[in-house]
Amino acid sequence: MNVSEYLVTLNVPPSLEESLVDCLLTFESNDGFSSLKVNAHDHDHQSKNLSIAEQVSGQQKKIRFQMYVPENQLQPLLDKLKHQYTGSGVHYWVMPIIESGYL
């Protein structure tokens, strides 16, 4: 498979929303990026620093960012994110794009 574009997804604490917007805006992207509020669910309460209310409800509020990234910009983006947000609790994953378009 020859992949030329990837989908980068980030789940971030709400306190980092504006900072992530500023960071992602520094990268050129034909499609920009999307953000939405999500509830993250996890069994590991200790390492996620959940509040008592979050532990009781079994969920933690996060902001999810998704951005299509060309292959040549993927590593620079990940390097910048790792440099700026190490230890901040940002969870990310990268998936190859098989097909995309507009209908």
pLDDT at 92: 96
- Mean pLDDT for the stretch of residues 45-70: 73
- pLDDT confidence of residue 49: 64
- Hey, where are the domains in the chain? 5-96
pLDDT at 51: 60
d(CA 39, CA 61): 5
Instruction: Report the pLDDT value the prediction gives residue 39, as an integer from 0 to 100.
Output: 87
The Cα 44–Cα 41 span in angstroms is 9
Contact between residue 66 and residue 7 where contact means Cβ atoms under 8 Å apart: yes
List pLDDT tens digits, range 32-57.
Answer: 899 999 988 765 544 456 566 655 55
Positive or negative torsion for Cα 41, 45, 46, 49: positive
pLDDT at 47: 47
CATH architecture of 5-96: 2-Layer Sandwich (3.30)
The Cβ of residue 6 has, within 10 Å, a number of other Cβ atoms equal to: 19
Q: What is the pLDDT of residue 45?
A: 47
Q: Per-residue confidence at 28, pLDDT binned at 50, 70, 90?
A: confident
